[in-house]
A = this chain, B = another copy of it.
Amino acid sequence: MPVIQCDIREGWSDEQKAALADGITSVVSKVGNVPVERIHVVIREGRGLHFMFGGEHVAEYEPPGDG
């Protein structure tokens, strides 16, 4: 029944989000001896402006260019 919430800056690919939830589920299950069936992970994302860390706003995500 552990519930894990992740607030991240936007820009993670779908593969990264899937790996994040997978990895966290695995850690919780192994460390806490909790069946995977009982673990809930929620991911939320937001703009860089929505995160302040150490008194500075996080930079906005810049999609990789192709130039």
Query: A residues engaging B (CB < 8 A)?
Result: 1-9, 12, 14, 16-25, 27-28, 30-32, 36-46, 49-55, 57-58
Contacts and interface: CB of A to CB of B under 8 A. Distances in A.
Contacts of A25: 52, 55
Contacts of A23: 27, 30-31
Given A21-B52, A27-B27, A38-B53, 14 more contacts: A2-B8, A3-B3, A3-B42, A4-B5, A16-B32, A19-B27, A20-B32, A24-B52, A39-B53, A39-B55, A40-B53, A43-B51, A44-B44, A45-B50
Contacts of A1: 8-9, 40, 51, 53, 58
